Amino acid sequence: MSVGGRKVVDLWGGSVDDRTGREWQEGAVLPVMSVAKAVVSILAHLLAQEGQLDFDAPVAAYWPEFARHGKEGITTRMVLAHTAGIPLAERQLTFEELTAWTPVIRALEEQQPLREPGTAFECHAHAFGFVVGEVIRRLTGRTPGRFFRAVIGEPLGLRPWIGMPQEGVPRLARLVEAEGRGAAGVCRSPGGRRRGE
């Protein structure tokens, strides 16, 4: 951290990958997971500010294929507020499918709400970025990551990405779950059971 152009705090060290022992270097890249929800939200608000996105219009106004299986009335505002009733796609997806975008979008098109849309809060941990992101993609023709780079990241000289560029992979830190914590990415249904149980 710098104050008045003078470095006052510089905290980094240790191992960036416990499998290889690769040491931490300045400029290591970290995955930040749910921080992307804030970035996607900012992009949606920029589009709303420009009059391109109406938060109270159905998502299907921008993404017609979404209007299936009880999702016809879900609005972008409901997704932003985590009240749309679709916290995730229940269909099991591989890592390759999750990172390919389109398979997740197709799974969300087929997903039925797990709660009546607009009636209850449940963190939309796995669907938020894809639903709002697909609305952004339909409006701009760019994925949320490319739209962010064009309108915020590059103009402001920021390093965050949504979707890691290949040149950043060698600097990517490998995260390790804290001891005693369950596996990451486990989501439970409103009834408390794990998906697929």
Q: Tell whether the torsion through CA atoms of 125, 126, 131 and 134 is positive or negative.
A: positive
Question: What is the average per-residue pLDDT within 35-64?
Answer: 96
43 and 116 co-located in one domain: yes
67 and 1 co-located in one domain: no
Is the model's pLDDT at 193 over the cut of 50? Answer: no
In three-state secondary structure terms, 138 is: helix
Q: What is the pLDDT of residue 188?
A: 43
Q: What is the pLDDT of residue 28?
A: 85
105 and 19 co-located in one domain: no
- What is the CATH number for 53? 3.40.710.10
pLDDT in tens, 61-79: 999 999 999 999 999 999 9
DSSP element (H, E) containing 156: helix 154-156
- In contact, 55 and 93? CB cutoff 8 Å: no
Name the average pLDDT for the chain. Answer: 87
pLDDT in tens, 99-132: 889 999 999 999 999 999 999 999 998 899 999 9
4 and 96 co-located in one domain: no
70 and 153 co-located in one domain: yes
d(CA 38, CA 162) in angstroms, rounded, equals: 11
17 and 109 co-located in one domain: no
Assess if residue 9 is contained within a domain.
yes
Q: What is the pLDDT of residue 23?
A: 87
Number of domains forming the structure of the chain: 2
18 and 37 co-located in one domain: no
Q: What is the pLDDT of residue 192?
A: 40
pLDDT in tens, 128-167: 999 999 999 999 999 999 999 999 999 999 888 888 888 8
Assess if residue 53 is contained within a domain.
yes
14 and 77 co-located in one domain: no
Note down the domain range covering 14.
1-31+167-176
In three-state secondary structure terms, 75 is: strand
85 and 153 co-located in one domain: yes
d(CA 83, CA 79) in angstroms, rounded, equals: 6
127 and 151 co-located in one domain: yes
19 and 37 co-located in one domain: no
Q: What is the pLDDT of residue 182?
A: 58
37 and 9 co-located in one domain: no
Is the model's pLDDT at 196 over the cut of 50? Answer: no
Is the model's pLDDT at 190 over the cut of 80? Answer: no
Assess if residue 182 is contained within a domain.
no
